[in-house]
Structure formats: structure tokens, C-alpha cells
Structure 1
């Protein structure tokens, strides 16, 4: 079996305790050829101080402290600094299963035209204890499957949920991301940048869904998703419309299902009145 270099890229921000747990989960990987790229967007030196002992002991860890807050540009900086053939983002509050990378690389080595490998992800709380799945993290299949990329994308789009996975969940080839991470059809998505990247990848080939939990998605009060709240839905309509250019939602019925799902998610919230109007116009064109 080949062991191509895999870059684990971590956009860090003010969470040294959970970041340490995340880094330990990478260092414990059974896969032997990994580098860790950490780009620190923190407003203090907590992450840097925690990392100092690691930097002396583990040459595969490369650390960069940003002079100013880069936000999405920090994601791009991580990507650009990665030397690996493969990339896996790791959020600084999530955790890898120790066999994650080895089990995912297997599919790239053994099968053709794979552009994305994902898995079931186990939700955990602040203390690392298992939580029941939320809607988006419910196990999609009881067995591991190789899927048509467009089929998997359509599952996410018609449900208006990122069932494919957070950035921590997915392994992909660096060369397959032609635009910036989170750019889809020329638009940079900020609130669903992971889904935008997955659609770009799924338009090019097949996906693998591994049914066992190979990453752990931490739910806690201070995570970005909670801070963004309903605003996270504001980009879904644009990405649904744009996705049809790549052959996603390729029948009127699938497109209608996606539009109805989005409408149900935003119904009753005054900030989405214009989106409701757009949906009604789009549905009329499909009748």
C-alpha cells in the first residue's frame, strides 16, 4: 500500500484545550505519513503557549501565528501551506478516530474516480461524552457505500442539511479543489463553506460513505455554528440554484423538494421574507 503525504490543516481560534485533544488524535493516527498545519487566528497567546512543547517534539507540526484576524482567509492559508497530496481539515474542537486517515486513504488507493471520502460522525459534548445524533449527523447508511457524487449531493440539497459532514469529516485530494475552499461557481460561501467545497468535489467523481464513526463532532455553547444561528441558512438558496449548473437537483421534482425543504426551515422568520418570495417565483417556473 502507498503512503502519500496527508496534510491535516487546523484553523485555530482561542481554544487551546480542545485543540490539544484534536492534535493528540492526529498524532495517534495509525497512518504513518502525516503533517499538521496549524494557522492560529487567536486573539491571545493561549494556543501558542500550549503548542510550544509539541513544536519541540514533533517536527511534523508546523505552526503559523497570524498578525491579524483572517477569518476565511485563514482557511485558505492552511490550504496553501499544506504540502500533502491529500487534505483533511480538522476543527480545533473536534477529534479524529485513530484509524480515520488509514481507512479513508484505502478507498483512494483501491478505487478509481473517488473525489471525497466521508463517514458517520459521532457527536460529543464539551467533556467528550457521546451524544445522540442531531438531524444532520444521523447515520446515512448502515453499511459502507461507494456512491455517485451527484446522488450524495442531492441527499444534502433536498434535505437542506449538510449530511456529508463538517470539514473534520472529509478527506479529499488537494488537486481536486480548483477554486478556493468554500468557493462554488465563483462565489465564496462563508457560513456553509464546507458544503460548497463538497459540491465542487462531488461534481467531479464518486464519494465514499463509511458507516463507522471516524470523527467526533463536538457540540458546545461556544462553537461557531451556534454563534451564527439562523444566519447559517441564508446561503442555502443561492447554493441550491447554483448547483443545477453542475447537474445536481437535475429533475424538477428534486429541485422542488429542495426548495420546499428550505422554505420549511426559514418559515416564520421575518429576515427571510425575500427568500420566501424568491422560492415562490422559482416554484411557479417549475409548474
Structure 2
């Protein structure tokens, strides 16, 4: 995109919710300041942190710091909408960062089509061991149906929204995860959106992040899809909805099974209930190969014995 003069360029607000991630916050802020695009305003929403989030945010000239009592990520993003003034909005988690030039790469698409509610791009996943993986999805049409099938966007910071979207929609504060997926579906149900394959941001994978709670993630993903059930009009949408339920079930159950086998996840009641409810073959495979481990390590031995007996009957 050809560089515009600051006086002519639309203001972009980058909203950074932060809850006890002060040690990552500087990297997120610097990635915005190094975009090479102006004007940009940065709004840090401190969601009741007990670390030095305020000190880090206020060390940067021009960064707007907003404090709220801990209310969760959805509420923090909604607060950021209210306290920002840009015509376009980016939501950047404090432990992630934007790639150079990403604001302009997204903005060019919105400026070329005033009907688009948001545009999304690809991203990188960055793991704790330093491994980096490109996440690229090719979606050129039928964005609502494709979102029903899976969250092809993946990283929230890869999305640039028009402000008017939030005159009609806000993040659902009852959701403790998948709140971004829920918003994409609600917006794309009503308005055109666009997706491209340029990398916009880097998504840091933390083992202690909310996405590591797989039973909750699956339950919430299915809940978000169920919110769309009454809005499905065509047979294609209904088929996409069914495909999405199957995708999320398989996706999270496969992850959980791998974590159990590798002993990265404890075989808790919630974990085994999830496997036996949605992917019983994976559940039976795990208990049949890990009987002694379950009996020795399980916090509820009677519950584990139930699965052993269930597996014996199946065989």
C-alpha cells in the first residue's frame, strides 16, 4: 500500500487488554509503534492486574492506560472500544505482537471496499521452545459457512474491524473463551468480510493459557456454534454447522488424547468424561494402555475404575 500522509490517513486504534502480562507488554507496544503507519493510538486496558502493567504502559509516551477491576478478556475489549476513538480497531493481546506493516496490509482491503465489516489475515504461532509455525488458511468466499466449519482466523490480532461494527456488536462477557469466534460468526452472518494470506501477527502459545483447558474450550466452541443454530437459513449453512460440530469435537479430543498419552495433562474426571462423551474410541484406547497409571495417579480412583470396567465390556 502506498504510504499516505498522516493528515489524510484514518486513525487506527490498537486495543491491548492485559492481565498480569506486563513482562510481555513492551513487546506488544513496540510492535505497534514500529508499524510505520500513522496515525495510530494505543489503548492498554489493565484488567485488574497485580503486576507492573501500569508502570510498563505509562512508560510509553502517548499510550492511553485504562484500569478496570478484573472482569475478563471480553469486558476488557469492550472497555477498549469505549475508550478508543479510531475509525478502525485492532485487538492485540498483551503476549502477542504485530508483524511490521500489518496495519497497512489489512487497511488497504477495508479502504478498497467500504462494505466490509472486517478483514483478517494469516499469522505465526510461536511456541515456548522457540519453534515458529505459519498458520495460513485459504478462504476466498462463503466466509460465514467457512467460519461455521472452523475458526479459520485463529489469531484475533490478525483482524482489522471498522468501528461501526461495535455500534451493533460487542464481545459476549458470559464467554470465558472463544469470544472472538463468537463475534466473527455474528458479524459475518450479517455483513461481508474478507480474508487474505499475508501474515499479520505472531500468536504466542503459553502452556498456562486458557486454551490449555481443553474440556472448557470444547464446551465453549460447541456453545458458540449452537448460538448460530437458529440463524441457519440454507442447507449449505446447516451442513457447515454440522461439520463445525464434528471438527471441534475431533480437534479438541485429539489434542486431549495426545496430551494424556504424553502425560502433559492429568487424567482428570473432566478429561476422561470429555473423551468418552465425544470420542469413546480414543478414551478406550487410553485407559486400556494406561491402567496402572490411572489407578496410581488418578485423584478419583472409583471414577477411573469405571472407565476400566467400561473398556473391558467393550472388548
- TM-score, normalisation: structure 2: 0.71
Q: Conserved in 2, the CA contact under 8 Å of 1:249 and 1:255?
A: no
1:152 alignment counterpart: 143
What is the Cα deviation at residue 241 of structure 1? 2.9
> Are residues 248 and 89 of structure 1, via their aligned partners in 2, closer, same or farther at CA, if it must alter by over 3 Å?
farther
2:98 alignment counterpart: 96
Q: What is the distance in 1 between the residues matched to 2:239 and 2:54?
A: 51
Q: Deviations over 1:55-103 (max 9, x none)?
A: xxx22x100223x312132222112111111111000010101211111
SS at 1:216 equivalent: strand
Work out whether 1:53 is the aligned partner of 2:55. no
Q: Conserved in 2, the CA contact under 8 Å of 1:154 and 1:249?
A: no
SS at 1:91 equivalent: coil
Q: Which range moves more in the overlay, 161-170 or 238-247?
A: 238-247
1:257 alignment counterpart: 243
Work out whether 1:13 is the aligned partner of 2:10. no
Work out whether 1:220 is the aligned partner of 2:206. yes
Work out which structure has the larger RCO, using CA pairs closer than 8 Å and 6 or more positions apart in sequence.
Answer: 1
2:166 alignment counterpart: 177
SS at 1:206 equivalent: coil
> Are residues 231 and 249 of structure 1, via their aligned partners in 2, closer, same or farther at CA, if it must alter by over 3 Å?
farther
Work out whether 1:238 is the aligned partner of 2:223. yes
What runs of 5+ residues in structure 1 fail to find an aligned partner? 277-287
Q: Conserved in 1, the CA contact under 8 Å of 2:126 and 2:204?
A: yes
> Are residues 79 and 273 of structure 1, via their aligned partners in 2, closer, same or farther at CA, if it must alter by over 3 Å?
farther
TM superposition outliers: structure 1 runs of 4+ over 6 Å: 272-276
Q: What is the distance in 2 between the residues matched to 1:199 and 1:239?
A: 9
Q: What is the distance in 2 between the residues matched to 1:157 and 1:269?
A: 27
> Are residues 52 and 156 of structure 1, via their aligned partners in 2, closer, same or farther at CA, if it must alter by over 3 Å?
same
Identify which of 186, 191, 197 aligns with 1:200: 186
2:49 alignment counterpart: 43
1:140 alignment counterpart: 137
Q: Which range moves more in the overlay, 200-209 or 261-270?
A: 261-270
Q: Conserved in 2, the CA contact under 8 Å of 1:12 and 1:40?
A: yes
Q: Deviations over 1:26-59 (max 9, x none)?
A: 00112211111111124324112223321xxx22
1:166 alignment counterpart: 155
Q: What is the distance in 2 between the residues matched to 1:263 and 1:17?
A: 34
Q: Conserved in 1, the CA contact under 8 Å of 2:58 and 2:65?
A: no
> Are residues 253 and 222 of structure 1, via their aligned partners in 2, closer, same or farther at CA, if it must alter by over 3 Å?
closer
Alignment of 1:108-123 (within 5 A): 108-123=110-125
What runs of 5+ residues in structure 2 fail to find an aligned partner? 254-270, 280-315
Q: Deviations over 1:94-120 (max 9, x none)?
A: 010121111111111112421121111
Work out whether 1:69 is the aligned partner of 2:58. no
Question: How many corresponding residue pairs?
Answer: 254
What is the Cα deviation at residue 153 of structure 1? 3.0
Q: What is the distance in 1 between the residues matched to 2:248 and 2:64?
A: 41
Q: Alignment RMSD, CA only? A: 2.7
Q: What is the distance in 1 between the residues matched to 2:241 and 2:32?
A: 39
Q: Which has the larger radius of gyration?
A: 2
Q: Conserved in 2, the CA contact under 8 Å of 1:177 and 1:197?
A: no
